């Protein structure tokens, strides 16, 4: 029997010194025979083009040797980029024992779709690596190696069918008592259910129980949810670690019975199901918290309008960095309703957030008067509306510059898809928590947050959405009803369906054609938007890459 410690860590990309200290602390405090860390935990994931730098690679190797020297009483498995015996860079699961590198597994299936771009940096391994520890034979895998026939991306699966089948056969044939898989698997909705299905089938096909260790933490547009888990040889879920939590857990593995025992702090009750709304909200909080902390900001600043998007953003920010580190600016215009101001102040009082009011009438009027000499500006037209948004953007950025706070933008995925946002206005900022959150999810998350404590005034949730940049303005003046819009956008953006296929689902033809045209036309805006956390199956930004200039329709 061996004791295995699952180390679900939150590394910082490029922070080898801090990451290695964290790893060594776990190793030195461990009483387990084996400690398992996530994929590329030494560098953080994804290191992207840092991997192309020679000085970066040298720093990685120095950190790896330092960690190896700490492995005197405990064997460790950790993820790191490594030069193999042929001099090629590989994504490796490295085994450290008695102060040395005992061996390593080279990741075989390199993902090259969605947010992944591993073929840019690594070469594929050929066969699984295994080693023995106290009479237990352990085979290693890195993330995608086990994502075989149920692969999340069907095109990738088709293109790599032969390689995937060979890897499946290799894991079934290898002499081993247990499979240990290290991962940097980003979160999106329903991801845990998908992982369980994949791991269950892999365990059954290989006939081996699986220890699955995943990373946690936010990294730019990605959020890693942890939820490291155990699967038995029959494919049954045994237990898992909590979501969005850094920590360790120890479990015993009996090679005679091939069973996991003494599960300790691992969660077993209901751990096979994801409470989707809670995990989505936690992902957004986690993303904001880590982006602020890892980039050294002193807190956050944001504009609060009295609408539901900014109200949800404020709640997320307060939960992420603490109410004392959040500054909300109310910037009413001549079109801002009294109820908007009242609801915004009420929410700040409710949460205990510092709230300041800066009316924009003076700069708005000054810009109008200046531009009227050169442009035929009409009260309430698009030019006038955008001037207001840009006045607010200037003021928000001034506060960000002066206080060292990160400016959060408040736009949602539905608006960004349609270009219903102002460049250098409400799109100005450093991080966009709701960038991948569609409007119907805005309401669901707001209602969920209020089940924890009252954070978003009910009147904000119940009001009709409005940008309040023109008299009596409503979102419905410029956009289809959100319940229709979000369905079309999901089909077009996340599922790559054509106009004909979407119309066949029952959506009005004229609305579908208009929505698709506007999505395509506004790619140039999205290209200039700040990063935000991915929580859907397909997000704007690094995952959905469409040309700005394109004649295809």
Whether residue 261 is found in the same domain as residue 366: no
480 inside domain? no
Tokens describing residue 32: 């387990």
Q: Is-above-0.85 flag for pTM? A: yes
Catalytic residue among 107, 191, 294, 435: 107
Whether residue 146 is found in the same domain as residue 289: no
Q: Helices 439-452 and 276-294: crossing angle, nearest 10°?
A: 90
Whether residue 264 is found in the same domain as residue 286: no
- Nearest CA to 67 among 47, 30, 46, 97? 97
Whether residue 225 is found in the same domain as residue 359: no
Domain boundary among 475, 502, 522: 475
- Exposed e or buried b per residue across 299-329, where buried means at least 16 C-beta atoms within 10 angstroms of its C-beta: bbbbbbbbbbbbbbbbbbbbbbbeeebbbbb
Whether residue 230 is found in the same domain as residue 318: no
Whether residue 14 is found in the same domain as residue 140: yes
Give the DSSP letter string of 372-417: HTTS---TTSHHHHHHHHHHHHHHHHHHHHHHTPEEBP---HHHHH
Q: Helices 161-173 and 191-206: crossing angle, nearest 10°?
A: 60
Q: Which phi-psi region, left, alpha or beta, contains residue 128 (left: φ > 0; alpha: ψ -120 to 50)?
A: beta
CA 532, 534, 540, 545 dihedral sign is: positive
Contacts of 535 (CB under 8 A, 6+ apart): 187, 188, 189, 223, 280, 283, 284, 436, 437
510 inside domain? no
- Nearest CA to 200 among 138, 150, 134? 150
Q: Do 286 and 217 meet the contact criterion of CB atoms below 8 Å apart?
A: yes
Give the DSSP letter string of 506-522: T--HHHHHHHHHHHHHT
Whether residue 220 is found in the same domain as residue 100: yes
Catalytic residue among 5, 39, 343, 468: 39
Whether residue 264 is found in the same domain as residue 346: no
How many Å apart are CA 526 and CA 549, to the nearest integer? 13
387 inside domain? yes
Sheet bearing 210-214, strands edge to edge: 130-133, 136-142, 178-183, 210-214, 229-231, 237-240
- pLDDT tens for 257-272 read 888 888 877 877 654 3
The share of the chain scoring above pLDDT 90, in percent, equals: 71
Split into its structural domains, the chain has a count of: 2
Domain boundary among 475, 498, 517: 475
How many Å apart are CA 270 and CA 367, to the nearest integer? 58
Q: Which residue segment(s) compose the domain that 144 sits in?
A: 2-269
> What angle (nearest 5°) sits at the alpha carbon of residue 249, between those of residues 248 and 251?
150
The pLDDT mean for the chain works out to: 90
How many Å apart are CA 8 and CA 105, to the nearest integer? 20
- Nearest CA to 211 among 250, 179, 240? 179
How many Å apart are CA 226 and CA 243, to the nearest integer? 5
Tokens describing residue 297: 């900001």
Q: Which long-range contacts (CB under 8 A, 24 or more apart) does 480-484 make?
A: 480/511, 480/514, 480/515, 482/414, 482/439, 482/440, 483/440, 484/508, 484/511
296 inside domain? yes
Residues belonging to the chain: 553
107 is catalytic: yes
411 inside domain? yes
Whether residue 196 is found in the same domain as residue 297: no
143 is catalytic: yes
537 inside domain? no
- pLDDT tens for 518-549 read 999 999 999 999 999 999 988 988 888 888 88
231 inside domain? yes
Domain boundary among 433, 458, 475: 475
CATH number reported for the structural domain that contains residue 314 in this entry? 3.40.50.620
Sort 146 into a burial class: Cβ within 10 Å, 0-12 / 13-18 / 19+: buried
Whether residue 67 is found in the same domain as residue 193: yes
Whether residue 325 is found in the same domain as residue 362: yes
Q: Do 425 and 408 meet the contact criterion of CB atoms below 8 Å apart?
A: no
Catalytic residue among 5, 97, 118, 143: 143
Within the chain, which residues score under 70 in pLDDT? 148-155, 157, 269-274, 466-473, 475-477
Q: What is the pLDDT of residue 98?
A: 94
The owner of tokens 């109820």 is 339
- Nearest CA to 351 among 394, 313, 307, 389? 313
Tokens describing residue 263: 């599960």
196 inside domain? yes
CATH number reported for the structural domain that contains residue 131 in this entry? 3.60.110.10
Q: What is the pLDDT of residue 399?
A: 96
Q: What is the pLDDT of residue 393?
A: 94
């Amino acid at each position: 029997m061996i004791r295995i410690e699952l180390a679900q860590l939150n590394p910082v990309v490029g922070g080898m010194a801090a990451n290695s200290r964290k790893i060594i602390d776990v190793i030195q405090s461990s009483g387990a025979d084996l400690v398992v860390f996530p994929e590329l935990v030494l560098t953080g994931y994804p290191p992207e083009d840092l991997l192309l730098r020679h000085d970066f690679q040298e720093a990685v190797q120095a950190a790896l040797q330092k960690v190896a020297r700490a492995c005197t009483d405990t064997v460790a498995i950790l993820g790191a980029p490594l030069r193999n015996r042929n001099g090629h860079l590989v994504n490796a699961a490295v085994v450290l024992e008695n102060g040395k590198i005992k061996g390593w597994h080279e990741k075989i299936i390199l993902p090259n779709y969605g947010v992944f771009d591993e073929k840019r940096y690594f070469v594929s391994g050929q066969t699984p690596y295994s080693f023995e520890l106290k009479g237990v034979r352990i085979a290693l895998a890195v993330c995608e190696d086990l994502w075989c026939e149920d692969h999340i991306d069907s095109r990738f699966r088709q293109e790599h069918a032969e390689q995937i089948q060979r890897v499946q056969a290799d894991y079934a044939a290898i002499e081993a008592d247990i499979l240990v898989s290290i991962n940097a698997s980003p979160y999106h909705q329903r991801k845990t259910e998908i992982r369980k299905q994949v791991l269950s089938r892999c365990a059954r096909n290989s006939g081996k129980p699986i220890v699955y260790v995943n990373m946690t933490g936010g990294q730019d547009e990605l959020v890693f949810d942890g939820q490291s888990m155990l699967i038995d040889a029959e494919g049954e879920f045994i237990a898992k670690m909590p979501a969005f939590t850094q920590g360790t857990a120890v479990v015993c593995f009996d090679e005679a019975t091939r069973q996991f025992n003494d599960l300790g702090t691992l969660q077993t009750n209901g751990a096979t199901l994801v409470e989707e709304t809670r995990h989505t909200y936690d992902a957004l909080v986690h993303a904001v918290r880590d982006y602020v902390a890892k980039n050294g900001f002193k807190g956050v600043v944001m504009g609060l309008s009295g609408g539901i998007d900014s109200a949800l953003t404020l709640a997320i920010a307060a939960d992420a960095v603490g109410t004392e580190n959040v500054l909300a600016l109310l910037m009413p215009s001549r079109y801002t309703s009294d109820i908007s101001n009242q609801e915004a102040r009420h929410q700040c009082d409710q949460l205990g957030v510092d709230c300041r009011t800066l009316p924009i009438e003076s700069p708005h009027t000054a810009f109008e008067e200046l531009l009227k000499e050169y442009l035929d500006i009409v009260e309430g037209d698009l030019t006038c509306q955008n001037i207001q948004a840009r006045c607010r953007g200037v003021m928000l950025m001034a506060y960000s510059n002066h206080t060292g706070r990160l400016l959060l933008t408040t736009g949602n995925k539905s608006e960004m898809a349609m270009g219903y946002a102002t460049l250098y206005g409400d799109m100005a900022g450093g991080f966009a928590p709701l960038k991948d959150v569609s409007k119907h999810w805005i309401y669901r998350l707001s209602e969920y947050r209020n089940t924890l404590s009252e954070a978003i005034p009910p009147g904000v949730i119940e009001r009709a959405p409005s940008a309040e940049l023109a008299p009596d303005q409503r979102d419905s003046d410029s956009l289809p009803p959100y319940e229709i819009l979000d369905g079309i956008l999901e089909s077009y953006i996340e599922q790559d369906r054509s106009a004909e296929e979407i119309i066949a689902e029952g959506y009005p033809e004229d609305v579908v054609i208009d929505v698709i045209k506007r999505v395509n036309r506004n790619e140039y805006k999205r290209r200039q938007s700040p990063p935000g956390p991915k929580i859907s199956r397909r997000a704007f930004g690094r995952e959905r890459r469409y040309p700005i200039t394109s004649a295809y329709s």
